[in-house]
Chains A and B, each alone.
Chain A
Amino acid sequence: MIGAIEAVVVRELTRFARQRGRAVASFARPLLWLVVIGAGFEKLVPTEGTVSYKQFLLPGLYGMVVLFSTMLTALATVHDREFGPIRMLLVAPLPRFVTVFAKTISSALIGVIQAIVLFPLIWILGLHPSVGALAELLGAILLGSFALGSFGMVIASRLRSIENFAGIMNFLMFPMFFLSSALYPASLLPGFLQPLVRADPLTYTIDLMRHPLLRGLYPGNLGTDYTVSFDVLVLVLFSVVLLALASLLFGEEEHLGRILLVEPPRPRGSRRLPRLPRRAPALPVGDAAPSD
């Protein structure tokens, strides 16, 4: 079983390493946000503490990287399902839970790798976290990636084709980003949005990353929203519940069967004739049969 999980992880990482465009896009997006949004907002937002807006924004950008990368990896499952490789997993002697777990851990690892590549920004923006704080940041990224990855798997289990991806990005990923604490402390959002803010795993992921990065600074109006232990607790809960749900949904044969069914069921009584490789010349044997 460990071998199987390892096999899935190796496969996903190999694919990731070979799809350069995907990696480049995932770095370019947050850098653009940092330069454009960061610079603009820095002028607009009066800081009360010693934390600059860009320093505040940095965990939000890691959150963005992790969100896009985990969702992309999880949604690649839909592509797999359309084009085959997931069938290898489905006929292998593995419980669905293991399959879903292996996929989720792969997407979390890819998220972590992509975030690590952007680590130099920490020092470029003038932050000097201790080694312990860096380890804490890594742990936060891993846990957050895992929670978001399991969320992605739940979504993937319900999708029929990858074509819905644009819709997912516009109606799910961007709202998740804006409703999280990425661009502003989540507590600043109006009350009617708070239930959504609290239901968003990205809120806690970013908050948990912000703790080690801003530790020792006086944040003023650009601070964290929750305590570390609360963030961890919520993210663990999210992971467990979403992973269980994803295993359940992937295990639901009814749904998978519909997607995997290549032959569309033929309505009874239709008069479609069998398609046969004809030997020349064709004969209406069916009509001419001397029976009945």
Chain B
Amino acid sequence: MAQAPAIAVAGLGRDYGRVRAVDAVDLDVQPGEFFGFLGPNGAGKTTTIRMLCTLLQPSRGEARVAGGDVVENALDVRRKIGVVFQETTLDLDLTAEENLRFCTRLYGLSRRDSKARIDEALQLFGLEERRHARVRSFSGGMRRALDLARGILHRPSILFLDEPTLGLDPGQRRRIWAFLQKLTREHGTTLFLTTHYLEEADPCDRVAIVDHGRIVALGEPAELKRRLGHDRVDVRTDRAEEFVPRLRELTGLEPQRAQHGLSIFVDDASAILPSLLPLTADGAEVGVTRPTLEDVFVDLTGREVSL
């Protein structure tokens, strides 16, 4: 761990007038790490990513990205990072190739390098056949793939992705995720991404959960789930009233109402499952759900909301 962090952020914050979009964010991302930044809409994810990409000046704190300060050395930082935004940045009136060429030229690549990289990128994303087609005719998934190709064309050491799979179908989402994982594994690219598809954050090395412009949790997905520390036992029934006293009796815990019937929370579901067997005989269905990242998320941000 002697390596300098790819992203080092201390007390980073940003206000819009009197509104605090980002309060104070502290985090370090290691080179080659796959880092997820999660939070509800309006939590400050996009504002944070924009500050890290040198698009927004922080109101306070500091951030070093790829070794450079985002305010002092903005141009150096921009040279080393790639950014894929929530919405497409492609020019719909240009063809796939023209869009990519525009981009390579902006990064000062020579014509020859530019051609080689464009060929490679189009091949990688299976867009060779659409090379000379205008982007306007592309589907959402193809546009997103091309956008991603654009983001890595200049071989950035850090790639920022703001909701990279928003609006894509599951197949396209899987392909993009597979590609991103390959990118970190094979090229050692650091990935910093925001998403609110929480199940997608599972392959991240670490995730930070933000709410109200602050990090409320930071760690490996498995560790965060462990921290939540409970399994959920669901009792599916349409006669919930009847089962409340029986569940209370059998487990000594207070059942919670849920859409499907009742739920109880325990540290280890396997310990109490046998005692719930009699319920199944009366027509209830019993199931166990291990905590997901989503539960962690709702637990953390939900508590914040109810304060």
Q: Which residues of A contact B (CB under 8 A)?
A: 1, 3-4, 6-8, 10-11, 14-15, 18-19, 83-85, 87-95, 253-254, 256-258, 260-268, 271-277, 279, 281-292
**Min CB distance, B85 to chain A, in Å?**
6
Q: Is B155 an interface residue (CB 8 A)?
A: no
Binds A, one of B93-101, B119-127, B241-249, B271-279: B93-101
| A92: chain B residues within 8 A (beta carbon) | 78, 103, 106-107
Decide: A286 and B106 in contact? CB cutoff 8 A. Answer: no
Known: A19-B93, A88-B150. A265 touches B256 (CB 8 A): no
Known: A4-B105, A11-B102. A95 touches B75 (CB 8 A): yes
Known: A253-B56, A262-B46, A290-B230. A3 touches B79 (CB 8 A): no
| A279: chain B residues within 8 A (beta carbon) | 292, 294
Interface flags for B85-121 (1: CB within 8 Å of A; 0: not) read 1111111111000100111011111000000000000
| B102: chain A residues within 8 A (beta carbon) | 7-8, 10-11, 88
**Min CB distance, B243 to chain A, in Å?**
16
Bound Cα distance A14, B102 (Å): 11
Known: A7-B101, A262-B46, A263-B46. A85 touches B78 (CB 8 A): no
Q: Which of A1, A14, A289 has the most CB of B within 10 A?
A: A289
Bound Cα distance A264, B102 (Å): 31
Interface flags for B184-198 (1: CB within 8 Å of A; 0: not) read 000000000000111
Q: How extensive is the interface on chain B, given as a class?
A: 35 or more
- Not counting A15-B94, A91-B83, a sample of 20 additional A-B residue pairs whose C-beta atoms are within 8 angstroms of each other reads A6-B105, A11-B94, A14-B93, A84-B85, A84-B90, A89-B106, A94-B75, A261-B50, A264-B42, A266-B212, A268-B19, A274-B41, A275-B196, A276-B198, A279-B292, A281-B258, A286-B299, A287-B256, A287-B302, A291-B299
Bound Cα distance A186, B167 (Å): 56
| B57: chain A residues within 8 A (beta carbon) | 253-254, 257
